[in-house]
Structure 1
C-alpha cells in the first residue's frame, strides 16, 4: 500500500532587509595621528592628507629644521594645528616619546610607519654596518613604531599603516639591503595584524612604486626612468608616481572605509609590481582583428 505524499514544507517568509549601514566617511575629524619620517616625500604628503581629512597630526623625524619647514608648509585653512617632534625611529625611547606627544595620555588613533632609508651597493661589497643602516631604520624603526602605537591604541583600537615598496617583491639590482628590509616590513605587517586584531587594531601596508620624491630625484637616472616607464602600465610622460596617491591610500586605511581590512599590503605603483608578460601575441590578434587592432592599438604611437 502506497503512503500518501507528505505535504510540501512551508516556504519560510523572507527575512526583513537589514537596516542600511550608516553612511561611511573618509573624515578623520577628532582622531590623532603620528607620521614618522613626516618631513619630506611620502611622509609629508601623507601628513598633509591626514590633516586635510580632519586628523590632528604630529610628524616626527631626526631633523628639527626639516620638520618645522614641513609643518609650516602644510598648515593652512581647514587644517588643525600640525605638530612636530624630533625622533629617531631607531631609538625606542624617542619613538615612545613621539607617540606620547601625538596623543598625550594614550589613545592614539592612527600611526604611519613611513621612515625609511636606502643603502645602495652590491652584495659583494656591503659591510655589516652598511647592511644594518636600512635594517635599523626600516625594520627596527617600523617595529618600534608599531609597538608603541599599539600600546597607545590597545584600549580602544586604531589603525597602523606601514610603508613598504615594490622592491620587496620585485628586486632592484644593487639595492639588495633596501629590498630585503622592505620585504621584512611586509612580513611584519601581516604578523602584527594577526597579533593585534584582538585589541581592535588594524595593521595594513602600502607598497609604493617609484615615486616623484626628493630621494628619487637624486637616485634615478635616465636609464632607470626608461626601465620604469616600460614596466609601468599607467606610466605617462613622467613614470614616477605622485606622493599624493600614496597619501590617499593611507587615508583609506586610516578611515572607517577599511574597517574590515587588516593584514593587507596595497600596491600603489601604476601596475609596475605586475610580473612582466611571458609573451606578446599581438601579431596573432592582428590576423583575426586587423582593423580593430590598427584602430585601437596603433593609435598609441600616433
Structure 2
C-alpha cells in the first residue's frame, strides 16, 4: 500500500516541520498519541504531556520502536497553570515554542437531571480551562517569532449529543475560545485553529461503538462509514493527525480561527428525506449499478 493510502503514515507530499518544537497535551493515548507521532514523523521535536508518567513513557517507547521519532515527556495536569507552564518550558528551545496542540480532554456522560456541579466541572475544567491555560503558556513562548496552536474539539460542539451535555457544552466553549484566541493572537504572528474529530478508533471510541445502537447511529450519520477496505465506521486517529500537521505547517500560513471537521461527514445536518426510490424509478439501471440497496 502506498503512503497516501495508509492513514498511519504521512504521504510523501505532506508538509514538513523539520526542527520545530512542539507540545501535545494528552499526548500519551488515542488521538493525542497519533498527533505526536505524526508531528515527529514530519520532523518536529515533540514533547508530550499528561498526568500519568507511565502512559507517557509507553508512548515514547512505542514511537521509537516504530521508527517515527524520539518523543520527550513532561508530566503535567493541564488544569494546573504552573504544571502546564513547565511543560511548555520543557518543550521549548531557547525559550521559544513553535507548535502547541491542546488535545487533552475528558467526557462525562449523564443526564441534565443527574449531573452534579462536580460532574460539570470535569469537562469544563480540562476541556475549557485546560485549553485556555495551554494557549496562555504556549502563546507566551511564541511571542518572539510566532507559531501555531491547534485545539482539538469535537463534532459534539455543533451536533447535540443526548446525555453528553457537559461534554458538548465544553467543546462548544472550546470552539469559541479558539476563535477568540485567533483574533487576539494574530497580530503576534500566532495562528490558532481547531480540529473537530468525529467517531474515531480510540479506546473510548471503540467502546462506545461496541453497542448495536451506536453502530447503527454511526453508520447512518457518517457518509464515509465503511467506505474503506475494512467495514469499519470509525475513523483512524491518523486522519486527525494529518489535519494537525497541515494546520501547524507553513501550508496553512494564512489560516487562523478555523474549525476543521475530520469526521467522515458526520457533522453534516441530518438529511430531511431520501428520494432514492424516485431516482430508482427514473434511472433503474444506473442506480442499480452505482448504489447498493433495494431495486
Query: Which string of whole-angstrom CA distances, capped at 9 and with x for unpartnered residues, describes residues 177-208 of structure 1?
Result: 00000101110111100100001100000000
Q: What RMSD over aligned residues (CA atoms) do the two structures have, in Å?
A: 1.6
Gaps of 5+ in 1: 1-23
Q: 1:293 aligns with which of 284, 287, 293?
A: 287
Q: In structure 2, do the counterparts of structure 1 residues 301 and 31 end up closer, same or farther at CA, with 3 Å as the change threshold?
A: farther
**1:52 aligned residue:** 41
**Does the 8 Å CA contact 2:37/2:69 hold for their aligned counterparts?**
no
Q: Which has the larger radius of gyration?
A: 1
Q: Offset of 1:171 from its aligned partner?
A: 1.3
Please give the alpha-carbon distance, in whole angstroms, between the structure 2 residues aligned to 1:43 and 1:87: 14
The TM-score with structure 1 as length reference comes to 0.89
Structure 2 CA distance for aligned equivalents of residues 190 and 162 of structure 1: 10
Q: Please, what TM-score do these two structures have when normalized by structure 2? A: 0.91
Contact 2:98 2:146 (8 Å CA) reproduced:
yes
Contact 1:208–1:246 (8 Å) recurs in 2:
yes
Q: 1:105 to 1:130 in 2, by over 3 A?
A: same
Return the offset for 1:254: 0.7
Q: Distance in 2 between matches of 1:125 and 1:294?
A: 49
Following TM superposition, the consecutive aligned residue runs of length 4 or more in structure 1 with deviations greater than 4 angstroms are 76-80
Contact 1:57 1:82 in 2 (8 A): yes
SS in 2 for 1:60: strand
Hey, what does 2:149 align to over in structure 1? 160
Moved more, 223-232 or 69-78: 69-78
User: Does 1:173 pair with 2:162?
Assistant: yes
Residue among 222, 229, 232 paired with 2:219: 229
Is the partner of 2:196 in helix, strand or coil? strand
Equivalent runs, 1:42-191 vs 2, <5 Å? 42-76=31-65, 79-191=68-180
Distance between the aligned counterparts of 2:102 and 2:109, measured in 1? 22
Matched positions, count: 278
